[in-house]
Every structure is written in structure tokens, then in C-alpha cells.
Amino acid sequence: MRVERVTDLPALGEVVASGLIAVCRERQRAGAVPCIVLTGGRAGAQVLLAVRDHRDRNTVDWSRVRFLWGDERWVPAGHADRNDRLADESLFAAVDTDPTLVHRVAASDSGMSLDAAAAAYAETVARVPRIDVQLSGVGEDGHVASLFPGSSELLLGDEEAETLPVRDSPKAPPERVTLSLSALNRAERSWLLAAGEGKAEAVLAVLGGSEPLPPAARLTGRSETVLWADTAALGLTTGSDGAH
């Protein structure tokens, strides 16, 4: 895992947004449809806003970008807790997207059960040939997506599972749909995001290799794994390089 140190949350958003735009542009120039896995939380929201406001935003054809979410809260469509609402109110409000390439988890008012929604999303994810970048915010306990330390979802009985229903999240709301570790680790680039003093202990655990490994430490991109962290989140670590 490579560590990229930034000064603060806005700087994190800016540098990750630049990286996302560069990946999408490169893939489109090669004739491909890039695929990005989005995340929620403060860092995920900051990245979306930074992409929206980036000077190079329009060098990407956003109608030819595929979007997934690492996890989604089992609440009604349009609810403030939905991770997809972050994208709807920021980047998606400013660019043209193709609805057939924006793959949302069904909402709790869709008429589907939680298990059915997870199964349907698994079918969608399984059809995606390549994930170029997956973004994962690092929780204060080291969780990513809705994979929490010690949760049954980490004890994958089926290593081929793409998604998992969650019923006992320690953070509200308790019911969610999450990508599995195996699905997240399909990504070419795994980018973890951490900002603020509240993430310092989790970052230390991720980088220190303490057992049991927090979920964030179990993410591995096929070509690169990067932790983008600000000065505060790296406050308990030593030997950090200069900040962006």
C-alpha cells in the first residue's frame, strides 16, 4: 500500500479528483468505458464535489463512464442517508450521465427484500468486465463499504460472492447492501480515503499490520493500492513524505 499524504480534506478531494479524471480520460482514449466504484462519507462527498468543480472535468465524457457504489443504505429512494444521493446532488447534477451505466442498489421502497436487492446488485456487478478505480472511505474503526471489523460479512463462505446483505451494521441504519471484499479487490486501482483526527487510529492499524487486520487493510488493487490521507489522519504515524 502506497501512502499519499495531503494537507487537509479539500486537498484530498482535489488530488483524488485529478486522478479519477486522468484515469477516465486515459481509458476513454483507449476506446473503453471506465468504471468507478463510489463511496459515501465526508471524503467521498469531497471527491465528488472536487470532480464537479475541476478545471478538467469536461475532458471526460461522463455519459461514457460506468458507476457502481461500494455499499448502500437500505432506506427509501432519495433518502438523505443514501450514498447515491451524494452523487445526484453533486457530480451528477452537473454532467450528463447514461442511466444505463449508473448502477444503483435498489431502495427499501422498491418492493424488493434486502436479500433480493443484494442478489440483483450482485448480478449487475458480475456483468461488469473491469473496475478501473474503487474508492473506499476508511471508517474510524477501519471499516470499508459496509464491511465492519468482526462482522459476519468478512467471513465469506463463498469467495465468489459479489455483494452481501447486511443486517447488523454498528452504524445506523443497520440494514445495507455491500460489495464483498472479493468484488472490491477486482479493481485495478484501490484508493482508500482518510481525513481528520478521528481516522488516525484506523490509519495506524491499517499501516501497522496489526492483527486482526482491519477491513481497510485487506483491500488490494490489481495494479495499485493507495491510501490518500491528510496530515491529521496520519498524525499517529511516522515517516510521512511531504504533503500534496
Burial class (CB in 10 A: 0-12, 13-18, 19+), 241: exposed
In this prediction the pTM is 0.94
Amino acid at residue number 3:
V
Burial class (CB in 10 A: 0-12, 13-18, 19+), 194: buried
Residue 2, number of CB atoms within 10 A of its CB: 9
Burial class (CB in 10 A: 0-12, 13-18, 19+), 127: exposed
pLDDT at 211: 81
Residues 23, 34: Cα–Cα separation, whole Å: 8
Q: Where are the domains of the chain?
A: 2-230
Could you read off the pLDDT tens digit of each residue along the chain, which spans 244 residues?
A: 999 999 999 999 999 999 999 999 999 999 999 999 999 999 999 999 999 999 999 999 999 999 999 999 999 999 999 999 999 999 999 999 999 999 999 999 999 999 999 999 999 999 999 999 999 999 999 999 999 998 766 655 445 689 999 999 999 999 999 999 999 999 999 999 999 999 999 999 999 877 888 999 999 999 999 999 999 999 988 654 555 6
Tell me which fold the domain 2-230 belongs to: Rossmann fold (3.40.50)
Residues 69, 44: Cα–Cα separation, whole Å: 11
